[in-house]
Amino acid sequence: MSIRWPEAVLRGRKLTVYSALASKSPVWNPVIGHLLKDFNAVSKKHGLGLQLTAAGQAPKEDGGADIAINTATGKISLTFPGADPVAEQFDASRLHGRTLLLSRRGRMLKVFVFLPAKPLINTPSGQRPVGAKVLTLIALHELVHACGLEDEDHGTSGLFQASPSVDVGDTAISDRARVQPKLDRYMPPYVLDDDTVEALKNLWTP
């Protein structure tokens, strides 16, 4: 079940994003620098009309960013005014993030995105950190959730699949994800499937 942002946000078609990664995540720093630009390119490609912009202040009850991005290791813990506290286990080595959609009276309040602190990929030589192309896909996937879509809204192809199929490269820079399992098309460029595009357009119609 999707969650709609307040009408004023829907009309503006813009969400602000605060990143808490800059000082403590060498794994994610290279990705965060171009992440919002990548999301906006996907939005433009599919005619969504949604835009993410950087914010200098973390979400707070009476303002701040709409979305916060951070990493998590072992556990996610969150307390925010007006929302139930959250405490859950989190595997920081998986190729998957976790997005908490906080709502009040059926409308989105704030969103908190947690990315795995050190996502690993299995190779013939053992596990190693996954490459930047897959890191970008993980983060973009979570930002689609931040627009209001939940797990049951996952698509069947593109970056919003529940578990994108990742092919290991000879080096991290060669790691890549398939547009669809068993289909020899890869991301980037990052794409959304038609059902996800339709769901987002419906969700963002004021």
Domain ranges of the chain: 7-203
Statement: residue 22 has pLDDT above 60? no
DSSP state of 117: S
Sign, Cα dihedral of 33, 148, 130, 116: positive
Confidence category of residue 183, pLDDT binned at 50, 70, 90: confident
Q: Are 146 and 135 in contact (CB under 8 A)?
A: no
Confidence category of residue 82, pLDDT binned at 50, 70, 90: confident
The helix/strand/coil state of 202 is: helix
The helix/strand/coil state of 91 is: coil
- CATH homologous superfamily, domain 7-203: Collagenase (Catalytic Domain) (3.40.390.10)
Strand order of the β-sheet with 166-167 is 166-167, 176-178, 186-187
Residues 6+ apart with CB under 8 A from 168: 121, 122, 123, 175
What pLDDT is recorded for position 6?
96
DSSP state of 160: T
Confidence category of residue 26, pLDDT binned at 50, 70, 90: confident
Per residue in 117-139, pLDDT (tens digit) is 999 999 999 999 999 999 999 99
Question: In the chain, pLDDT over 70 holds for what percent of residues?
Answer: 99
What pLDDT is recorded for position 24?
62
* Cβ neighbourhood burial of 115 (10 Å; 0-12, 13-18, 19+): buried
